[in-house]
Chain A
Amino acid sequence: MSRRSQHIQQRLQQQVEPNISCREGHDSIILEGIVDNWAQVVRAGKLAAHEGYKGVVNRLAIEGLTLPPPRSPKLKDTALDGLHVDVLIVGGGVTGCAIARELTRKSISVLLVEKEDDLATHASSRNNGMIHPGIEPHPGTSKAYFNVHGNAMYDTVAAELGIPFTRCGSLILYQERWERFLGPLFMARARQNGVPGVRLINKNEALSLEPHLTREFSAALHMPSTGIISPYLLTVAYAENAVQNGARVSLETMVVDMKVREGRITAVGTNRGTLFPRVIVNAAGCYADAVADMAGDQFFTIHPRKGEIIILDRKKGHLISHVVAKPRLLQVKSDTKGGGVNRTIDGNILVGPNAVEQPFREDYSTDRDHIKLMLQRYLPLVPELSPADLITYFAGTRPATYEEDFVIERSQYVRNLVHAAGIQSPGLASAPAIAEEVARLTVGALGEVARVGDNPTFDGHRQGIPEPERMTWEERDALIHRRPDYGIIVCRCEGISKGQVVDALNSPISVTSIDAVKRRVRAGMGRCQGAFCTPQVLRIIGEQNGEQLAAITKKGGDSFILATETKTVQRAS
């Protein structure tokens, strides 16, 4: 045992729990033993990070707690058995989908597998949709680099993919007594990270930008490059464009194991058969460490950091346009961006997020006290907001590593594996830049075993589902003349038409569940939360897909909406 690892072990034994042991594996430090609670696991992981190792492999277990296995598809078949592809991407979040689209610029075969029944069901649909300017990450980190570069690419990406995006700008408010610390600190960060246009502005100027703000601040930092986008629409759009350019997407497909020989993955096992990819991209979000482990290349550990977010009624959307936050001094050096309020691209206001360390990677339950606390803390930023404007709330988990940075690299030990892991916030903002880099690394790895040429028919433009809400009345009228289904409104809160639902069901990556439709066209996202439109959408799905109503699910698996026919109907038939 080296002196370095011995030293770490001593510290962990003293500061966390006497029975923790440490050893080295490849270039990482591996923690083993049993502790009492999750806080100790995280504490040990953090203490071991940044101590000169490539990463922390935290295998500490908690007395009496068995973590649940990942949510897995019910489906079992051999549809993909024996398939040879150039690149296999594991994970259909924004990271995996952006990579897939980037790779279709080359003339290679690309298969993306996602274990859920739709894309963007985990972190990529459970976030603020904010395209961060890049001021929060510590200078010199991957996060800082990819965030600033990713942000700059968004105008082009959104225009090409046909999805709405706005550079709404953001404001960080602060109080007089903190000004001395925060102002210079943020300005220095902005310079180091290369964030464009950042300015310290006085209260009056801030209030002229956002007249409905609280008066409880003395100055603000204005960052004009901050943007806002629909994260699930972006993910779906990336995937659809990839499919249009020849990639294949297989939903309900989970990678369960890998065969590795002489430093290469030779076969990948899934619930739908064994695959033979030349290169594998690990974009598995909160399970990226598990996927790395399948290849015998785990050198980092995901500790899922939960964040809860509250959604307010669109009625109040006009009150702000910028992303607004007012950090407490303590937060400045912490790992997660502080919460605040922001308007979504669809005009709702989001409140939050918070950050809670907890062991469950896919537990999206919310906590009453947390929700109340966030309402208390953040609503005063805009005094005209009230708890009565709440329509719903949700949670997501950030795939954080103990190094608290993105892991974007070709594996050091497995020649045909590329990691896009640890993509915590600002992973959405960084996605376009991450995709470019991962594609470059992947093509590099592929180039060692095959010839890689450009895809001559690549077309980066995607035509999305029409959004009547964003059209002029004349355009909308014309659309209805062409497609009368666009004149039949099924979701009254959001004004979503049957035409949009039908188009979602017939989109390039076919979907069948209520939530998948919701993610594409917003039916059910409004103030009644689907009470009125779920039955309508159910009927349209049945009609379009020729499916029994009782077979339609909320989100795949066994999440059926209906049980059986009523006695009255059974008697009648």
Chain B
Amino acid sequence: MTVRNVDIAVLGAGPAGMAAALAAAGGGADTVLIERENHLGGILKQCVHDGFGLLRFGEKLSGPEYAGRFVHMVREAGLAVLTSTFVAAARHDSEESVLMLVDRSGVTELHAKAVVLATGCRERSARQVMIQGTRPAGVMTAGAAQYYVNVLGYLPTTRCVILGSGDIGLIMARRLTLEGAEVLGVFEAKSTPSGLSRNVAQCLDDFGIQLHLSRTVTRIFGDDRVEAVETAAVDEKMRPIAGTEERLTCDGVILSVGLIPENEVGEALGVPMDPVTKGPVMDQNGQTQVSGVFVCGNAAHVNDLVDYVTESGERAGAAAAAFVAGRRTHRLLPLMADSTVLLYAVPQFVDMDAPESGAVVYFRSGEELGVTVVEVTAGGETVARHRYQHLRPPEMERLEIDLNRIPVSAGSLNIGVESAAAAEMTS
């Protein structure tokens, strides 16, 4: 067994982890980037559609192209990279984190002064959304379907329904159609789609695929392979309505019912989680409540734009390097989101002593809203304010705040809809 010491271990080499590792090494820290798969790039490797990097590079790239640019930078910078390396156990001692790494050469005990969690997310499974019925082959998550089609070159179904209108499901509806499968429809239990509007337009509408809102798959039939599904309309509480059942013959059910940040390593390190985002409680630079453990990308909360993921990686990497150089966090103000209008806002805390005075807040609205003014207030002052044409839960919004504008007396930051505007909206 080998023992190795580093300043910073970055876990996960998706866009978040690559950006974090580049920033950490750029800050002068001895950094190692650890990835369990045998290639860098994370989930982008299988996202062959375009639409990545508009904000970052001002052009529309495919997932592999976007990832490729960062892989190139990682190579250029000569970063230490461990691929096909699995974190089998982790613990945090007062001064360091200890990771037990497993790869083809054996077990390595890695001691790191700081850790950046960039482990991405996983998809919710069929049982987690209470699908009942038999257990045939042919029920899979959209991500798995994407892997079969784009990486293995196989169609996992010839005629399917898609349950849930998450982005991956919408993208797979188009992809499967292009590759010769028949997509009978997308069924979404909520009354609004969970994916981005542009994906609904480009992946469904352009291909004549129906989106059925307030309707879900209630049962799966088939013994060996899926033979049919039963769909039904649901009420506001998402309970199936008797008498609305319809049976569709198909050989596949593809699920796109939500993503969950992967934080098993974070949990092992003792990092407290936010029950709403399912990611760690953190400050604007990804510092979690365990000193020296940082988080970024989809592990922190589910993002819909890779550009923001990269941004969060850069911040976390730089902050980790500063931590290794001796910087500690002292004054934290909680950021409170008005839960009557917002689904969530991150970070959960703002570090007032951060070296950079600009901090970024990301949030999602709880429901679809028209023209809305969102403001951040602190100690009675408005520190940021922005007017949106519309807000939709699938679309994460970004708001920059200037720490210098926060009054010294402030005990917390609050984010919500501007009160005057709110009054207008309800009248």
Residues of A whose CB lies within 8 Å of any CB of B are 71, 315, 363-368, 371, 390-394, 468, 473-474, 476-477, 480-481, 484, 487-489, 492, 495, 497, 527-532, 534-535, 538-539, 549-550, 553-569
A-B contact pairs, 26 of them (CB 8 A): A315-B267, A363-B134, A366-B132, A368-B130, A390-B127, A391-B128, A476-B102, A480-B104, A487-B103, A487-B105, A488-B104, A495-B86, A497-B102, A529-B125, A529-B126, A531-B140, A531-B143, A549-B152, A553-B137, A559-B224, A561-B156, A562-B152, A563-B156, A563-B157, A564-B158, A565-B153
Cβ-closest chain B residue relative to A471: B107
Cβ-closest chain A residue relative to B127: A392
Decide if A528 touches B106 in the complex (CB within 8 Å). no
Decide if A473 touches B107 in the complex (CB within 8 Å). yes
B53-71 at interface with A (beta carbon < 8 Å):
none
**Does B1 make an interface contact (CB < 8 A)?**
yes
How many Å from the CB of A230 to the closest CB on chain B?
19
How many Å from the CB of B221 to the closest CB on chain A?
9
**Does B135 make an interface contact (CB < 8 A)?**
yes
List of A residues within 8 angstroms of B155 by Cβ: 562-566
How far is it, in angstroms, between the C-alpha of A527 and the C-alpha of B264 when the chains are bound?
11
Other than A391-B128, A553-B224, give 10 A-B pairs with Cβ distance below 8 A: A487-B103, A489-B86, A553-B137, A554-B137, A554-B224, A559-B136, A563-B181, A563-B252, A566-B180, A567-B179
B77-95 at interface with A (beta carbon < 8 Å):
84, 86, 88
**Does B325 make an interface contact (CB < 8 A)?**
no
Decide if B125 touches A391 in the complex (CB within 8 Å). yes
How far is it, in angstroms, between the C-alpha of A71 and the C-alpha of B134 when the chains are bound?
13
List of B residues within 8 angstroms of A569 by Cβ: 153-154
List of A residues within 8 angstroms of B157 by Cβ: 563
How many Å from the CB of A534 to the closest CB on chain B?
6
We find that the number of chain B residues with CB closer than 8 angstroms to chain A is 53
Q: Chain A at the B interface: mostly helix, strand, loop or mixed?
A: mixed
List of A residues within 8 angstroms of B151 by Cβ: 535
Listed from nearest, the 9 A-B pairs whose CB atoms lie closest are: A554-B137, A569-B153, A489-B86, A392-B127, A559-B224, A559-B137, A529-B125, A558-B224, A477-B107
Cβ-closest chain A residue relative to B141: A531
How many Å from the CB of B36 to the closest CB on chain A?
6
**Does B144 make an interface contact (CB < 8 A)?**
yes
- Contact of A474 with B154 at beta-carbon distance under 8 Å, contacts A528-B123, A534-B144, A566-B179 already known: no
List of B residues within 8 angstroms of A558 by Cβ: 224-225
How many Å from the CB of A448 to the closest CB on chain B?
42
Decide if B106 touches A367 in the complex (CB within 8 Å). no
- Contact of A477 with B1 at beta-carbon distance under 8 Å, contacts A562-B154, A566-B153 already known: yes
B108-162 at interface with A (beta carbon < 8 Å):
109, 122-123, 125-128, 130, 132-137, 140-141, 143-144, 147-149, 151-158
How far is it, in angstroms, between the C-alpha of A568 and the C-alpha of B135 when the chains are bound?
30
Residues of B whose CB lies within 8 Å of any CB of A are 1, 36, 84, 86, 88, 100, 102-107, 109, 122-123, 125-128, 130, 132-137, 140-141, 143-144, 147-149, 151-158, 178-181, 219, 223-225, 251-252, 264, 267
List of A residues within 8 angstroms of B153 by Cβ: 565-566, 568-569
List of A residues within 8 angstroms of B132 by Cβ: 365-368, 371
- Contact of A567 with B180 at beta-carbon distance under 8 Å, contacts A473-B107, A480-B104, A559-B224 already known: yes
Decide if A473 touches B109 in the complex (CB within 8 Å). yes
Decide if B156 touches A489 in the complex (CB within 8 Å). no
How far is it, in angstroms, between the C-alpha of A391 and the C-alpha of B219 when the chains are bound?
18
Decide if B152 touches A492 in the complex (CB within 8 Å). no
List of B residues within 8 angstroms of A495 by Cβ: 86, 88
How far is it, in angstroms, between the C-alpha of A559 and the C-alpha of B134 when the chains are bound?
12
Decide if A532 touches B122 in the complex (CB within 8 Å). yes
How many Å from the CB of B358 to the closest CB on chain A?
35
- Contact of A555 with B109 at beta-carbon distance under 8 Å, contacts A364-B135, A476-B102, A563-B157 already known: no
How far is it, in angstroms, between the C-alpha of A477 and the C-alpha of B147 when the chains are bound?
31
Decide if A365 touches B134 in the complex (CB within 8 Å). yes
How many Å from the CB of B222 to the closest CB on chain A?
9
List of B residues within 8 angstroms of A391 by Cβ: 125, 127-128
List of A residues within 8 angstroms of B125 by Cβ: 391-392, 527-529, 531
How far is it, in angstroms, between the C-alpha of A163 and the C-alpha of B342 when the chains are bound?
51
Decide if B86 touches A531 in the complex (CB within 8 Å). no
List of A residues within 8 angstroms of B127 by Cβ: 390-393, 529
Decide if A474 touches B102 in the complex (CB within 8 Å). no
How far is it, in angstroms, between the C-alpha of A550 and the C-alpha of B148 when the chains are bound?
11
Cβ-closest chain A residue relative to B100: A473
Cβ-closest chain A residue relative to B102: A487
Decide if B148 touches A535 in the complex (CB within 8 Å). yes
How far is it, in angstroms, between the C-alpha of A560 and the C-alpha of B126 when the chains are bound?
18
Among A71, A487, A531, A557, the one with the most B-chain Cβ atoms within 10 Å of its Cβ is A531
Decide if A535 touches B224 in the complex (CB within 8 Å). no
List of B residues within 8 angstroms of A394 by Cβ: 135
How far is it, in angstroms, between the C-alpha of A368 and the C-alpha of B218 when the chains are bound?
9
Cβ-closest chain A residue relative to B134: A365
How far is it, in angstroms, between the C-alpha of A556 and the C-alpha of B223 when the chains are bound?
11
How far is it, in angstroms, between the C-alpha of A475 and the C-alpha of B126 when the chains are bound?
37
How far is it, in angstroms, between the C-alpha of A266 and the C-alpha of B15 when the chains are bound?
69
Cβ-closest chain A residue relative to B123: A531
List of B residues within 8 angstroms of A480 by Cβ: 102, 104-107
List of B residues within 8 angstroms of A468 by Cβ: 102
List of A residues within 8 angstroms of B148 by Cβ: 535, 562
How many Å from the CB of B39 to the closest CB on chain A?
14
Decide if B109 touches A534 in the complex (CB within 8 Å). no
Cβ-closest chain B residue relative to A371: B130
How far is it, in angstroms, between the C-alpha of A364 and the C-alpha of B222 when the chains are bound?
11
How far is it, in angstroms, between the C-alpha of A100 and the C-alpha of B154 when the chains are bound?
41
List of A residues within 8 angstroms of B141 by Cβ: 531
- Contact of A477 with B154 at beta-carbon distance under 8 Å, contacts A391-B127, A492-B86 already known: no
Cβ-closest chain B residue relative to A531: B141
How far is it, in angstroms, between the C-alpha of A390 and the C-alpha of B143 when the chains are bound?
20
How far is it, in angstroms, between the C-alpha of A487 and the C-alpha of B2 when the chains are bound?
14
How many Å from the CB of B155 to the closest CB on chain A?
5
- Contact of A565 with B154 at beta-carbon distance under 8 Å, contacts A473-B1, A487-B106 already known: yes
How many Å from the CB of A118 to the closest CB on chain B?
14
Cβ-closest chain A residue relative to B176: A566
How far is it, in angstroms, between the C-alpha of A386 and the C-alpha of B252 when the chains are bound?
31
List of A residues within 8 angstroms of B103 by Cβ: 487-488
How far is it, in angstroms, between the C-alpha of A558 and the C-alpha of B224 when the chains are bound?
5
- Contact of A563 with B251 at beta-carbon distance under 8 Å, contacts A391-B125, A489-B86, A531-B144 already known: yes
List of A residues within 8 angstroms of B158 by Cβ: 563-564
List of A residues within 8 angstroms of B86 by Cβ: 489, 492, 495
List of B residues within 8 angstroms of A532 by Cβ: 122, 143-144
How far is it, in angstroms, between the C-alpha of A564 and the C-alpha of B107 when the chains are bound?
39
How far is it, in angstroms, between the C-alpha of A472 and the C-alpha of B107 when the chains are bound?
11
How many Å from the CB of B225 to the closest CB on chain A?
5
How many Å from the CB of A292 to the closest CB on chain B?
25
How many Å from the CB of B208 to the closest CB on chain A?
18
How many Å from the CB of A438 to the closest CB on chain B?
31
How far is it, in angstroms, between the C-alpha of A534 and the C-alpha of B1 when the chains are bound?
30
How far is it, in angstroms, between the C-alpha of A561 and the C-alpha of B152 when the chains are bound?
12
List of A residues within 8 angstroms of B252 by Cβ: 563
Cβ-closest chain B residue relative to A492: B36
List of A residues within 8 angstroms of B149 by Cβ: 566
How many Å from the CB of B250 to the closest CB on chain A?
12
How many Å from the CB of B103 to the closest CB on chain A?
5
Decide if A487 touches B264 in the complex (CB within 8 Å). no
How many Å from the CB of A392 to the closest CB on chain B?
4
List of B residues within 8 angstroms of A534 by Cβ: 140, 144
How many Å from the CB of A528 to the closest CB on chain B?
5
List of B residues within 8 angstroms of A71 by Cβ: 223
List of B residues within 8 angstroms of A492 by Cβ: 36, 86
- Contact of A555 with B137 at beta-carbon distance under 8 Å, contacts A527-B122, A565-B154, A569-B153 already known: yes
How many Å from the CB of B336 to the closest CB on chain A?
23
How far is it, in angstroms, between the C-alpha of A302 and the C-alpha of B225 when the chains are bound?
28
Q: Select one of B84, B134, B144, B267 contacting A488, CB under 8 A.
A: B84
